């Protein structure tokens, strides 16, 4: 009888373990939040976020159980009604989240190697950010005292700190190549042109087979190829997109003697501030052969806002938009990571300059057409 009982207990233990092995838990401590506050759980896929669960804080706690999935998931926690996110990584291990109401920036998630690396990275960035704040405060004081020598010294310190931050990120990537966050960081560095295509490819070529197949790596490879195509000296990739009236307009049919491809959006304040300068250059040189095609990164529900911005800013040239925000295929084709962004083409569609603004734009066009 005892043997039968022992066998039953063993079977029960194995059964429970098998059940538990198919799930993992997320347990959270939420400091300062009222009962009933909602915590939204997001998945990130293809640069888009999607709410996958809603949890409720009770007694400063929240929890959930999820089925295990293959690979590492990139996820976010967000307090309902807030714009701030807490990024974390799920790799089928128990997770513990600590949320601070007065500082989501100090909040964190532990559990698994990916979160450990991400938290270590943030500790290093916290130290650099403190130094940035100290330099910024010293700069304000020096400016208020009109101490030009000190201003220049602090400016040099700021530049040195920026280089230190860049090197910190690059070193982190090189030391932790096979982590998901390192690939995210590498993509950021590449997008900001803080690493070259060759440096990014070197990291990618050194990844283990599993990491090399990650969707983030494939996306980064696409960006590298797109950047090569959109470099000065290359032929600008052709594209087609809907005009404000819904007709498809291609780059090829808009080419003039010289053509500017202008990436912008109605919501982009720097773009709107630059528009009067672009209008001035266009009005001055259009009759001499200058054309412009603007590609808007407005959202799907912002078509009227896009059209009103065109009218308000008097942008009397070609316009297209897929209304897909940062998922716009043309922006990806040209590896555009920030706006405004411009590409200057000759009559054959070859890229001869990039990202000219203000007086530099007019001077360049004048040198070509005057």
Give 211-220 pLDDT, tens digit per residue.
998 889 998 9
pLDDT score for 165: 95
pLDDT score for 95: 97
pLDDT score for 253: 94
Helices (H), 90-214: 113-144, 148-175, 180-191, 197-205, 209-212
Cβ–Cβ under 8 Å, residues 294 and 315:
yes
318-343: per-residue pLDDT in tens? 999 999 999 999 998 898 888 999 99
Structure tokens at 72: 């590492």
84-125: per-residue pLDDT in tens? 899 999 999 999 999 999 887 789 999 999 999 999 999 999
Share of the chain above pLDDT 90, in %: 76
Distance CA 151, CA 142 (A): 6
| Burial of 303 (C-beta count, 10 Å sphere; 0-12/13-18/19+) | middle
What is the residue-averaged pLDDT of the chain?
90
| Complete edge-to-edge strand list for the sheet that includes strand 95-100 | 61-67, 23-31, 95-100, 108-110
Task: State whether residue 49 is helix, strand or coil.
Answer: strand
Domains contained in the chain, CATH given: 21-109 (2.60.40.1110), 115-229 (no CATH), 240-369 (3.40.30.10)
Distance CA 352, CA 214 (A): 35
Q: How far from the centroid of its chain's Cα atoms is residue 93's Cα?
A: 27
Distances (CA, A) of 228 to 186, 197, 223: 17, 8, 9
Distance CA 82, CA 30 (A): 14
Element spanning 73, H or E: strand 73-79
Structure tokens at 155: 């400016």
Distance CA 321, CA 248 (A): 10
DSSP letter (8 states) at residue 234: S
How confident is the model over 350-359, as a mean pLDDT? 94
């Amino acid at each position: 009888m005892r043997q039968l009982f022992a066998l039953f207990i063993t079977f029960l233990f194995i059964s429970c373990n098998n059940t538990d092995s198919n799930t993992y838990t997320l347990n959270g401590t939420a400091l300062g939040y009222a009962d009933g506050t909602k915590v939204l759980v997001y998945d990130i896929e293809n640069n888009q976020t999607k709410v996958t669960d809603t949890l409720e804080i009770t007694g400063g706690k929240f929890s959930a159980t999820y089925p295990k999935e293959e690979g590492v998931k990139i996820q976010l926690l967000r307090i309902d009604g807030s714009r701030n996110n807490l990024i974390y990584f799920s790799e089928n291990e128990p997770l513990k989240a600590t949320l601070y109401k007065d500082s989501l920036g100090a909040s964190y998630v532990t559990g698994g190697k990916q979160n450990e690396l991400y938290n270590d990275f943030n500790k290093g960035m916290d130290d650099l950010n403190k130094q940035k704040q100290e330099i910024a405060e010293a700069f304000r004081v020096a400016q208020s005292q009109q101490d030009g020598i000190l201003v220049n010294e602090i400016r040099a310190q700021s530049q040195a700190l920026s280089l230190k931050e860049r090197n910190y990120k690059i070193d982190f990537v090189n030391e932790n190549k096979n982590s998901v966050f390192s690939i995210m960081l590498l993509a950021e560095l590449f997008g900001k042109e803080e690493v070259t295509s060759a440096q990014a490819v070197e990291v990618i070529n050194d990844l283990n087979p599993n990491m090399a197949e990650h969707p983030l790596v494939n996306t980064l490879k696409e960006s590298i190829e797109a950047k090569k195509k959109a470099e000065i000296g290359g032929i600008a990739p052709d594209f087609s997109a809907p005009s404000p009236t819904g007709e498809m307009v291609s780059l090829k049919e808009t080419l003039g003697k010289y053509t500017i491809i202008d990436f912008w959006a109605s919501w982009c304040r720097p773009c709107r501030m630059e528009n009067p300068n672009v209008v001035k250059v266009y009005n001055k040189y259009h009759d001499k052969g200058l054309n412009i095609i603007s590609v808007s990164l407005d959202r799907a529900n912002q078509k009227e806002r896009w059209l009103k911005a065109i009218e308000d800013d008097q942008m009397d040239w070609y316009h297209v938009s897929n209304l897909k925000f940062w998922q716009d295929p043309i922006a990806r084709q040209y590896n555009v990571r920030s706006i405004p962004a411009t590409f200057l083409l000759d009559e054959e569609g070859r890229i001869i300059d990039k990202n000219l603004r203000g007086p530099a734009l007019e001077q360049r066009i004048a040198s070509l057409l005057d």
